A and B are shown apart, each in its own frame.
Chain A
Amino acid sequence: MTARGRVALKTAVWLVALAPLAHLVWAWWTDGLTVNPIEYVTRELGETAIRLLLATLALTPIRLLFGVSWPITLRRLLGLFAFFYVTLHFMVWIVLDHFFDWRTMADDIAKRPWITVGVTAFLLLVPLAATSTTGMIKRLGGATWRRLHRLIYVAGVLGVLHYIWLAKKVLVQPWVYAALLATLLGIRAWTTARKLGGRWIVLGSRG
């Protein structure tokens, strides 16, 4: 891909990723945040975070399935945007929802599994965002860095679990995200298994 193509692509990602935030700011400005604004903003930010996390996790399967590798160049950008929305989601919970009522929040984290896994997912993403720079990749070394960044799989599972557990059972949306995540992780697992399987066959034939 040309340099100009890359710039255009990244600009497009910036626009798409910032659109949900722009929508919220616009809704706030025009009095459109529903009559329960805190709940609405929390939900919108959380949902955007899950979508971006799934988008980040979709890039490798796209390469594995279709052999196109340019989407991988967007992985850091999308991952950081996902982290950005998770952080906003978490901040709204602390500041607007509970207004720094640390005791209630600590109780909730300890008592309610969906909050426990939500906070855990956020904490898992912190080191990934912190080590997302090229400098950090070099400092950690490629192998260590890759191992560390596998935490995103755990964060993805916990994020979707967070949504499934908090929503009423009759809602469809959380299960759609669960199915998408299972597909994305499944493609990886299947490819890895095939590779390993192939190696065992080779080793076996040397027997």
Chain B
Amino acid sequence: MRLRYSDVTPEKLYLSRRELMAGALALAAVGGDAASAPAAAPAPAGAALPATPNPAYRVDDAPTKFEAASTYNNFYEFGVNKEDPARLGHTLKPRPWHVQVDGLVARPKTFDVEEILKLASLEERIYQLRCVEAWSMVIPWIGYPLSALLKQVQPRPGAKYVEFTTLKDPEQFPAQKPTFFGLGSLDWPYTEGLRLDEAMHPLTLLTVGMYGHVLPNQNGAPLRVVIPWKYGFKSAKSLVRIRVTDTEPKTAWNKAAPQEYGFYSNVNPNVDHPRWSQGTERRIGEFRRRKTLMFNGYADQVASLYTGMDLKKNY
């Protein structure tokens, strides 16, 4: 039997923020009203997107509440605060949308997003998401392996990397408007990159939906990538270009703070961020920290990509 996200996640498993804080305050012996009814989680707002659950990609833990996954976001194109993307997400127009797939490929092509949706069958995969800021979520994504798209354009011999580019349009992304001396801003457009073998890895998901629905704007509509064994910022959103290349792409956060955000940025509890430990994380909805797993729990599948590499150097 195949189960959908909504079938496997009874509401009572979710811990509401208020219960969490009540519990925490009780622990702190301050006292608190622990008796509070959790509010019903609102349904995703976008159109439903049918997808077949892929049982090979599941997580034992319950998915994070949709409400949390769609209101607590890092998407600096909308602003630096976590609530900015949900608040300002309406300014993004995910249709019509095109994505240019080119570079070192035999058949470069600009795809309409509707075409992308039909290129391969949509699967639902439940992945762990680990932010570099030491919090994490469990999210049921909808999409298909990026390799399916890359095979369409046929990378040429000598191709080694893939670069992802997010839309640059200050009309749709308010935080891309010029700021005072560039303060509070990244170097737009946001770019990210993977080695070609990482991009072709079956875990790397070209993503168009989550929680049974199309991607909300604040989560990177209309299409993004999700690379579950790397810190969240590697999973670039609202893509307009995917370029195959032979040189390591420059990435947005690496340009902003090279000693803090490397090209690889694999989740690794043994390599600390210069300013904090990556050994533990706070799962959104939980009170105690939990241990961070090597490659975010995907070591069996991806560790071989890095055989012989010094992961402290290639952070």
- Considering the chains assembled together, what is the distance between the CA atoms of A130 and B303 in angstroms? 55
Which of B17, B76, B186 interacts with A34 by CB under 8 Å? B17
A23-81 contacts to B, CB under 8 A, are 28-29, 31, 33-39
CB distance from A71 to the nearest CB of B (A): 30
Given contacts A28-B21, A170-B256, contact A34 B83 (CB under 8 A): yes
Does residue B135 face the partner (Cβ distance < 8 Å to A)?
Answer: yes
Does residue B56 face the partner (Cβ distance < 8 Å to A)?
Answer: no
Does residue B16 face the partner (Cβ distance < 8 Å to A)?
Answer: yes
Cβ–Cβ < 8 Å partners of A168 in chain B:
80, 256-257
B78-129 contacts to A, CB under 8 A, are 80, 82-83
CB distance from A31 to the nearest CB of B (A): 5
Q: Which residue of B lies closest to A107 (CB)?
A: B277
Cβ–Cβ < 8 Å partners of B257 in chain A:
168-169
A77-116 contacts to B, CB under 8 A, are 91, 95-99, 104, 107-108, 111-112, 114
Cβ–Cβ < 8 Å partners of B18 in chain A:
28-29, 31
**Residue contact B282 to A36, C-beta cutoff 8 Å:** yes
Cβ–Cβ < 8 Å partners of B17 in chain A:
31, 33-35, 37
Closest 7 CB pairs of A and B: A35-B68, A35-B72, A172-B184, A31-B18, A95-B28, A172-B183, A35-B284
* Interface CB pairs A-B, < 8 A, 11: A28-B18, A28-B21, A29-B18, A31-B16, A33-B17, A34-B17, A39-B135, A96-B287, A170-B80, A171-B80, A172-B184
Does residue A200 face the partner (Cβ distance < 8 Å to B)?
Answer: no
Given contacts A96-B28, A99-B288, A169-B256, contact A37 B20 (CB under 8 A): yes
Cβ–Cβ < 8 Å partners of A35 in chain B:
17, 65, 67-68, 71-72, 284-285
**Residue contact B27 to A95, C-beta cutoff 8 Å:** yes
B14-49 contacts to A, CB under 8 A, are 16-18, 20-21, 24-25, 27-28, 39
Cβ–Cβ < 8 Å partners of A96 in chain B:
24, 28, 287
Does residue B275 face the partner (Cβ distance < 8 Å to A)?
Answer: yes
Chain A, interface SS category: helix
Does residue B154 face the partner (Cβ distance < 8 Å to A)?
Answer: no
Q: Which residues of B contact A (CB under 8 A)?
A: 16-18, 20-21, 24-25, 27-28, 39, 65, 67-68, 71-72, 76, 80, 82-83, 135, 183-186, 256-257, 272, 275-277, 280, 282, 284-285, 287-289
Q: Which residues of A contact B (CB under 8 A)?
A: 28-29, 31, 33-39, 91, 95-99, 104, 107-108, 111-112, 114, 165-166, 168-172, 175
- Considering the chains assembled together, what is the distance between the CA atoms of A71 and B284 in angstroms? 44
Cβ–Cβ < 8 Å partners of A97 in chain B:
289
**Residue contact B183 to A34, C-beta cutoff 8 Å:** no
- Considering the chains assembled together, what is the distance between the CA atoms of A29 and B186 in angstroms? 36
Chain B, interface SS category: loop
CB distance from A23 to the nearest CB of B (A): 14
**Residue contact B28 to A175, C-beta cutoff 8 Å:** no
CB distance from A53 to the nearest CB of B (A): 22
**Residue contact A36 to B16, C-beta cutoff 8 Å:** no
CB distance from A172 to the nearest CB of B (A): 4
**Residue contact B39 to A34, C-beta cutoff 8 Å:** no
- Considering the chains assembled together, what is the distance between the CA atoms of A28 and B19 in angstroms? 10
Which of B76, B186, B276, B289 interacts with A112 by CB under 8 Å? B276
**Residue contact B39 to A31, C-beta cutoff 8 Å:** yes
Cβ–Cβ < 8 Å partners of A170 in chain B:
76, 80, 183-186, 256
Given contacts A114-B275, A168-B257, A172-B183, contact A38 B82 (CB under 8 A): no
- Considering the chains assembled together, what is the distance between the CA atoms of A198 and B68 in angstroms? 62
Given contacts A37-B17, A170-B185, contact A165 B275 (CB under 8 A): yes
Cβ–Cβ < 8 Å partners of B25 in chain A:
28
- Considering the chains assembled together, what is the distance between the CA atoms of A98 and B279 in angstroms? 13
